[in-house]
Amino acid sequence: MMPLLVHLPDWVWLVPGLPLLASLLIGLRVLLGRAAGDAAEPLTAGLSAVAAFGGLALLIALDVLAVLRGLPGHRVLAVWFGSGSWQGTFSFLLDGLSLTLATLVALIGWLVVRFSANYVHREAGFHRYFIVLNFFLAGIQLVLLAGNGLLAFVGWEMCGVASFLLIGYAWQRPVATGNALFVFVTNRGGDAGFLLALGFAAAWLGSFEWTALAGSGQIGVVNARLIALGFALAALAKSAQLPFTPWISRALEGPTPSSAIFYGAVMVHAGVYLLLRLEPLLVQAPDVLAGLVVLGVLTALYAWLCGLVQTDVKSALIFATVFQVALMFIEIGLGWSTLALAHLCLHAAWRAWQFLLAPSWLAVTRERPGPPPAWLRRNQLLYTLAQQRLWLDKLAQTLFVNPTESFARDLRALEENFIDRAIGEPGRGKPIDPERPLILVDGLPGRALAAAAGVLQQIENRLLLRGRGGAAEKLLHQLGSYLRTLENLLEQPRYLMMAVMATFVVIL
């Protein structure tokens, strides 16, 4: 039993691995056509629930081990790749911060999986929903448990892809796909900051490990500030702080259970976790901490003002969430990291319950939403600002989404007007020879192949298909006669003996 406990931390990769395996198995069932009808739903929901509960059970065991024998700490399980003086590893950091949040997220994830089995029952995208949900659970656990920034970034992007897919869950609706694109594009700014910080870490520290970043005092204040700025940008975007706040209200387009785990309880706190993880680095850049306080205050005011005029439950909850997360940024900026961690845990649990209850909120309260405060209704300017959400949504649409859509349209026009015509497109071929209407070609490669086939056909016709007496037949007959003459000579004894003697001469 004791050897098992000693090696238990080395199995932590199963926490993200089990949901990822469940996602792959469900996807395989869909591809094989074994996920049709109501009868296929219990197995999909069951695989997801078992995977989520398995990760929760393993984390609880690790928590017990940490209490009894101390925190496992930094564990390097394998080397991913290396280049020069640095390398990327499959490492996990099992300390108080990661184990606390990973256990809480695993519990919320398991509850959401169980809730979703009934919520999306008989939906056309039932299995697709659970594939993406499991993919997200794997990604967020990678973010929380990874021992280095590179592996955490992999989980960071997995969460972003899962978010995009579940916002666009009802892909038949233009609003859903438009909101998914809006969220995806605006979050790429934060991802760029994350990558920039990782590049600086590789150049100046020679490592991506969180332990190396925590002890980065030797790289200088300016370098530490640049790394901290990159990670702070990623945290601001993922946690929907100004100027990235508008994306989170668009993200509510997905199913309510996904809103609960993504934007109410878990993913919206990923930025807060990143800042808590990098607290030793942020301490070296007090101006970055001051900037977090300022942006947290501005975001809190923005969320409070916009929340006063919301008339639906989910929008009111999401602005309340942004307000609370902004307070966490203020706490981190002021150096109150323990308070921020406690705030995060309590808020995640409370907000998950509220979002899961949102579809039944009107039945529970039996009341209509209250009107905005009288002072706000009397102030026409503030009321308009709150209703329009300070026009940040339209500003982000103009600066980020519209250029992306224009670029995509230009690429599509290039593909349709040039690339497709140059290389051809399946199903649009035309006959180039009226005598052979079944041979269809399209594009330059198709025409070149048809021309080569025509040349080969002409060669074949001239050499082989002219009947008896053709040039090819005469050449083959003449070659055959030479070979028969050579064979007859080799069969005679004198020539055979000469061959044997020549062989001995060569050998000796």
pLDDT tens digits, the chain, 508 residues: what are they? 456 667 788 899 999 999 999 999 999 999 998 888 888 899 999 999 999 999 999 999 999 999 988 899 989 888 887 776 777 888 999 999 999 999 999 999 999 999 999 888 888 889 999 999 999 999 999 999 999 999 999 999 999 999 999 998 888 888 888 888 888 888 888 999 999 999 998 888 888 889 888 776 677 788 889 999 999 999 999 999 988 998 898 888 878 888 888 777 889 999 999 999 999 999 988 999 999 999 999 999 999 999 888 888 888 889 999 999 999 999 999 999 999 999 999 999 999 888 888 777 766 666 676 778 888 888 888 888 888 878 888 887 887 778 877 887 887 887 777 766 666 666 566 666 666 666 666 667 767 777 787 777 777 666 655 555 566 667 777 888 888 887 777 777 766 677 777 777 767 5
For residue 243, whether the previous peptide bond is cis, meaning omega lies within 30 degrees of 0, is yes
The alpha carbon dihedral of 326, 327, 330, 332 has a sign of negative
Instruction: State how beta strands 86-94 and 73-83 pair.
Output: antiparallel
- Rg from Cα positions in the chain: 33
pLDDT score, position 204? 86
Strand partners, 178: none
Residue ranges in 269-312 assigned as alpha helix (H): 270-277, 279-283, 286-307
Give Cβ neighbours of residue 468 (< 8 Å, ≥ 6 apart).
Answer: none
CB 231 within 8 A of CB 194: yes
**Could you count the other beta carbons within 10 Å of the beta carbon of residue 316?**
19
Contact present, 261 and 269 (Cβ < 8 Å): no
Asked if 300 contacts 327 with a C-beta cutoff of 8 angstroms, the reply is yes
Indicate the pairing of strand 440-441 with strand 430-431: antiparallel
pLDDT of residue 14: 94
Say which residues have a Cβ less than 8 Å from residue 285's Cβ, sequence separation at least 6. 221, 224, 225, 228, 229
Distance (Å, rounded) from C-alpha 167 to C-alpha 413?
Answer: 27
> Hey, what's the torsion of the CAs at 305, 310, 313, 318, to 10 degrees?
-40
How far apart (Å, rounded) are the C-alpha atoms in residues 180 and 174? Answer: 10
- Identify the bridge partners of residue 94 per DSSP, sorted by sequence position: 73
DSSP secondary structure letter of residue 220: -
- Residue 69: predicted pLDDT: 87
Q: What is the pLDDT of residue 433?
A: 67
Residue 182 in tokens? 């809006």
